[in-house]
Structure 1
Amino acid sequence: MVKILVTGGLGYIGSHTVVALQEAGFKVVIVDNLSNSSISVLEGIVAITNKTPEFENFDLRDKLKTKHFLKKHTDICGVIHFAASKAVGESVENPLLYYENNINTLIYLLQELDKKETSNFIFSSSCTVYGQADAMPITEAAPIKPAESPYGNTKQIGEAIIKDTCRANQNFNAIALRYFNPIGAHKSAKIGELPIGVPQNLVPYITQTALGIREQLSVYGNNYPTPDGTCIRDYIHVVDVANAHVVALERLLNKKHQDNFEIFNLGTGKGSSVLEVIQAFERVSIQKLNYKIVNRREGDVISAYADTKKANEILGWKAKSTIDDAMDSAWKWQKTL
């Protein structure tokens, strides 16, 4: 069995990707420091797949431990790198944490992988690298604008570091996947988004409000230049995102890549407004959500949705689930917690 390292593999997207990898026949080893995840997620993965991935609990900011880990696991054939801090607001308040965690861990990993005869690396990137794009939908060729947050900047810097590594070492193969807005949960409701404290993302805030954990959802602004006045994003089911990582990994392992550094957008190609997401939730849950319109939030882009042609035609991947599918799975997951 081909062995794959998944860093941050007990996080939201990481755990769904571990499930997809194990179901595709890969052997998985997870590294996670549990700073933004829970060991209970491992139980969910095992319950879904009937396979127990290897797991090591340590922080990739520890350069020596990272070095020893990769020396021990010389049979790793590919790495999917999720381990990073990811809250935009927190990154503004604590930029040094984000630069240390998101950049240092990447560099320490790459330094060790660069010594191997050949390396296959998938980078968890983000549509935040585009900022407020000039045109919709956003293609991979859209200009990279100054980042709106330290978090977004770490994704831009991370991509640049990987690109330079690939340029210097032609045996280092990498794909950066720029996700738009992953939502939803596994259909089994055994794993899903597990925010610590107050949710930073829209969908868990919706489901927590519906369940009475949060009193009310705030919709930030209804006077944007969009059809209903609320911000538009490309919401994609997390299982579709997870499956894209398996497709990208197989592309590298089977030497189907056209360049040793490739970039693909992961989205549905369709934008949904905040009010449309709320309406989708109300449809699948058959209940009204308590929300109110409040003032705009600083730093929010008006609209961002993906051009998925490159991912569809070159990577050979396409999102399959609808916004209703995603909201239904998120609601089922919330009710099991």
Structure 2
Amino acid sequence: MKILVSGGAGYIGSHTVIQLIAAGHDVVIVDNFSNANPTVLGRLEALTGTSIAAHSFDLTDLDKTEHLFATEDFDGVIHFAGHKAVGESVEKPLDYYENNLGSTFSLVRAMQRYDVDKMVFSSSATVYGEEQAGATEDRRTYATNPYGWTKVMQEQILRDVAVAAPQMRFALLRYFNPVGAHPSGTIGEDPSGIPNNLVPFIAQVAVGKRDRLLVFGDDYDTVDGTGVRDYIHVEDLAAGHIAALEALERSDVAVHTWNLGSGRGTSVLEMLRAFEKAVGRPIPYEIVPRRAGDIATSYADPSKANAELGWSTKKTIEDMCEDVWRWQSQNPQGFAG
């Protein structure tokens, strides 16, 4: 199949591109590079041994989106593109609603005009609000911030489209905390500014970019008082997208929803100790007050994806830390270096 990967130069998108090509699919990337570096394109071509078509524009531009569909014969779309920082979404809600919803509007309109009937959509555990522990796909959805609401709304939009256009097929993938990097150390997560997520922050402390890790709260009702999250290696996550795409190809159900996670929780301090093992030395940290809006525990129930997709996570927390450290130590300044 020829697959359009929106946001394909980003962290999860780039790892998914590699696996799509390995599975025999043709790939076209579209990315506005607001959260990605063009350097990744050359690295993807080196890793895959193939030339990858890439287009640089904003998917909220319907004319450009439809022009791309007119010039390519796509069989499906994997949709990663969108703003993704929870804190920033609170500060800039209109930007998040306009960008995240607008890009989906353009893509789906173009899909319908050019008879492309399959989309794998990058959703999030944020659609479970504060009720993320052991969440199953039938749990009610709501959000506690604008970023989360954009995911709730996009899921509903795609369900409504499926009712109006029964030939369309959508996979809504709700995943938890992606970490890790390609085993080569060539591509990985490269956040701009201060990382929003735990593992990139630990990695930047380990490589000397930051002086210490801030641990937000040690008085939660958890194994050691620190927040517990379900971490999934980005390569396992990419494999989940391939499995979902191939499931849509053979499905007669309009909308599928699958959690992608390990089903296990790891605390902040447990992750820190695993990363120290990968690095081979202690990493300085400081306990500070809780952040507003943080919850104690979040982990998936991935049993539906296990059963229906034949998919499960393969990589351990130790694998994640080793791969992140390989990426960060080889690229201390990220792609900019």
Number of aligned pairs?
331
1-structure distance, mates of 2:252, 2:259: 16
Number of the residue aligned with 1:308: 302
Q: How far has the Cα of 1:284 moved from its partner?
A: 1.6
Q: Secondary structure at the match of 1:314?
A: helix
5+ residue gaps, structure 1: none
Name the counterpart of 2:56.
57
Q: What secondary structure does 1:319 align onto?
A: coil
- Tell me how far apart the structure 2 counterparts of residues 232 and 141 of structure 1 sit (CA, whole Å): 22
Taking the aligned partners of 2:272 and 2:43, their CA distance within structure 1 comes to 28
| Deviation (angstroms), 1:116 | 3.8
Query: In the aligned structure 2, how far is the partner of 1:285 from the partner of 1:100?
Result: 41
Pick one of 129, 132, 135 that aligns with 2:127: 129
Render the CA deviation track for 1:48-101: whole Å, top value 9, x for unaligned.
11112100111111121111111111x100100000000000101111110111
Q: Which residue of 1 aligns with 2:111?
A: 113
- Residue of structure 2 equivalent to 1:67: 66
| 1:118/1:81 CA distance change after superposition, 3 Å | closer
Distance in 2 between residues matched to 1:143 and 1:165, nearest whole Å: 20
CA offset at residue 112 of structure 1? 1.5
- Which residue does the alignment assign to 1:19? 18
Measure, in 2, the Cα distance between the counterparts of 1:317 and 1:203: 24
**Deviations, residues 272-320 of structure 1 (Å, cap 9, x unaligned):** 0111110110112111011010000001121110111100001111110
Superposition TM-score, scaled by structure 2 size = 0.96
Letter in 1 for 2:31: D
Q: 1:221 to 1:127 in 2, by over 3 A?
A: same
CA distances 1:233-275 after superposition (whole Å, capped 9, x unpaired): 100000000011111111112x1x3521000000001000111
- Superposition map of 1:215-234 within 5 A: 215-234=211-230
Alpha-carbon distance between aligned partners in 2 of 1:127 and 1:45, rounded to the nearest angstrom: 28
SS in 2 for 1:80: strand
Within 5 Å, which residues of 2 pair with 1:79-118? 79-118=77-116
1:7 alignment partner in structure 2: 6
Q: Is the Cα–Cα contact under 8 Å of residues 132 and 302 in structure 1 kept in the other structure?
A: no
Residue of 280, 289, 298 corresponding to 1:295: 289
The answer for the alignment partner of 1:275 in structure 2 is 269
Q: Find the counterpart in structure 2 of residue 46 from structure 1.
A: 45
- Three-state SS of the structure 2 residue aligned to 1:222 is coil
Mapped to 1, the partners of 2:22 and 2:303 lie a distance apart of 26
Q: Following TM superposition, by how much is the alpha carbon of 1:127 offset from its aligned partner in structure 2, in angstroms?
A: 0.2
Which residue is 1:34 aligned to?
Answer: 33
RMSD (Å), alpha carbons = 1.0
| AA matched with 1:304 | S
- Cα deviation, 1:209-256, whole Å, max 9, x if unaligned, reads 011101111000000111211111100000000011111111112x1x
Question: Aligned partners of 1:250 and 1:219: how far apart in 2?
Answer: 40
CA distance in 1 between partners of 2:310 and 2:254 (Å): 17
Residue of structure 1 equivalent to 2:335:
none
1:173 pairs with one of 144, 165, 169: 169
**Structure 2: runs of 5 or more not aligned:** 332-337
Aligned-pair distance for 1:160? Answer: 0.3
Residue 68 of structure 1 aligns to a residue whose secondary structure is helix
Contact 1:118 1:171 in 2 (8 A): no
- Structure 1 residue 115, shift from structure 2 partner: 2.7
The corresponding residue for 2:135 is: 138
- State how 1:135-284 maps to structure 2 within 5 Å: 136-145=133-142, 147-253=143-249, 255=250, 257=251, 259-284=253-278
Change (3 A) 1:306 1:258: farther
Partner letter of residue 234 of structure 1?
D
Change (3 A) 1:272 1:258: farther
1:4/1:27 contact within 8 Å kept = yes
Q: TM-score, normalised to structure 1's length?
A: 0.96
Contact between 1:88 and 1:149, CA under 8 Å: does it hold in 2?
Answer: yes
Question: How far apart are the structure 1 equivalents of 2:114 and 2:247?
Answer: 19
- 8 Å Cα contact 2:76-2:116 kept in structure 1: no
